[in-house]
Structure 1
Amino acid sequence: MIRVVIVDDQPIVRAGVARILGPEDGFEVVAECDDGDEVVAAVAAHRPDVVLMDVRMRRVDGVAATRALGELEKPPPVLILTTFDEDDTLWGALDAGAAGFVLKDASAEDLIAATRAVSAGAAWLDPKVASRVLTAFRTYVRPRVAELAKVDQLTDREHEVLGHIARGATNPEIAARLIVSEATVKTHVGAIFAKLGVRDRAASIVFAYDHGLVDLHPEGEAG
């Protein structure tokens, strides 16, 4: 079972997410928090595999709560639950260490896929959110990494690995697809982060989208 903590100040949202992430799909909701100031204690008590985090809450917002989790010795990955009116918080959450974003009105299938991917160590960027994250990236981040983040610094193999990361693959999945060891994949991932001037998978995905290495819209989805 994938152990899940849900953090949202709206009971109806927590109930809806908990209903979707049920035992029949391999999930166990081990705790629910109605504000960000409760999540560190909940994580310490229940040791979840993933935290689903709202952004705007009354006392402590999702960005601050995500950053607080990052201070733990073994922080769980955080999947941000967002809406279309929260553009100003998207990069802040990513910069705080969030592993990805999923819309609150996403389909049950997408929520399940996103939660599984993030719990397994991958990153997830909802295509409907991606363009807005890119806007934040270009405004706040690109200027300070412009000299470091150059696509032509990557080797062909690193390009290939980055493409798999951007599509939500974990290191073991990438290793299987490329027929190499997981240790080799980890080496490539570390080199990619260093060359792009990013610190995690989610930020590397944003870079990949921004430089046209991955299509913003999956096949069959209209722009």
Structure 2
Amino acid sequence: MDDDALARSAISSVLTSKGLDVVGEADDGDQVSDAIARHRPDVVLIDLRMRRVSGIEAIRQNTTAPNAPHFVALTSFGSDEEVNAAIDAGAAGFLYKDAGPDGIVGPIRDVVEHGGAFGGAAAAVLLRRATASQSDQYTARAREQLALLTEKEREVAAELTRSGTNQEIGRRLYISENTVKRHITSALRKLGLSDRTQLAVVADRAGIGRSTSGG
């Protein structure tokens, strides 16, 4: 068994032990389309560094299909360029292989429930993209949106700009993971947003992002 197969086996064992169903595997990017058609997964955890077809290209080829799964990019390195390329290709999440079991499983659940999960440095890249063209108009609009939320929903939105799983956000705010989920779901509904990444962008534009406030 080669190193890639060993790594897949280890990750598969972790996901299974945490209650997630691993319905199939693929050896390389050129097998992803067939694997999706055969297994119909909700989420595809995909290595960006593959031999024949890169993970980024495999994401790009499969995100426009009807009922396409969410793609979560997995890498050991993750330069800004790689993160940007994965986002442009259609990745809903970006994780690092050294994140540990909870750092992989938690974000995968977050992608299923709220549409996005960008771990560690990838979150900072995402926010830099989102705020590159920020203007007073965007700031005013974001503040108007946040005014529709409760104080606790705004606190959770601010914490999303630091990335982390719902469990980690709950620990930082001294509330339960389920309470975090409830606040995110409520905030998304009130603001007409589709995922937690969009909520993080609104918080950052409004100036309450933890990554910019030093909190």
Normalising to structure 1: TM-score of the pair? 0.68
Q: Which residue of 1 aligns with 2:148?
A: 157
Distance in 1, Cα, partners of 2:32 & 2:136? 35
Question: Which AA in structure 2 matches 1:51?
Answer: V
Q: Contact 1:52–1:79 at 8 Å: present in 2 too? A: yes
Instruction: Please name the residue that 1:215 is paired with.
Output: 210
Work out which of the residue numbers 2, 24, 28 in structure 1 matches 2:21.
Answer: 28
Counterpart position of 1:12: 6
- Could you say which residue in structure 2 is the equivalent of 1:196? none
For residues 36-185 of structure 1, the aligned pairs below 5 Å read 36-134=29-127, 137=129, 142-143=132-133, 146=134, 150-154=138-142, 155=144, 156-157=147-148, 160=153, 163=157, 166=160, 176-177=182-183, 185=188
**Partner Cα separation in structure 1 for residue 76 and residue 148 of structure 2:** 36
- The Cα shift of 1:186 comes to 3.9
The structural deviation recorded for 1:25 is 2.0
Structure 1 residue 10 displacement after superposition: 1.8
Q: Give the whole-Å Cα distance in 2 for the aligned partners of 1:18 and 1:179.
A: 29
Measured against aligned partners, the alpha-carbon deviations of 1:92-132 in whole angstroms (never above 9, x if no partner) come to 11122211111111111111111111122331121343334
**TM-score of the two chains, using structure 2 as the length reference:** 0.70
User: Amino acid of the residue matched to residue 65 of structure 2?
Assistant: L
Give the conservation status (yes or no) of the 8 Å contact 2:158–2:200. no
State the partner residue of 2:175.
none
Q: 1:91 to 1:85 in 2, by over 3 A?
A: closer
Structure 1: stretches of 5+ with no match in the other structure: 1-8, 194-199
Counterpart of 2:157, as a letter, is G
Q: Which amino acid aligns with 1:14?
A: R
> Does structure 1 conserve the Cα–Cα contact (< 8 Å) formed by 2:138 and 2:205?
no
Is the counterpart of residue 188 in structure 1 residue 191 in structure 2? yes
3-state DSSP class of the match of 2:41? Answer: coil
Alpha-carbon deviation of 1:39?
Answer: 1.0
Number of residue pairs matched? 192
Deviations 1:63-110 (A, max 9, x none): 221122211111111111122353321011112221111111111111
Contact 2:149 2:190 in 1 (8 A): no
Distance 1:91 1:65, change over 3 A: same
CA deviation after TM superposition for structure 1 residue 35, in Å = 1.4
**Which structure has the highest helix share of the two?**
2
Matched residue SS, 2:21: strand
- Amino acid aligned to 1:12: L
Task: Give yes or no for contact 2:72–2:92 (8 Å, CA) kept in 1.
Answer: yes
Unaligned runs of 5+ in 2: 167-177
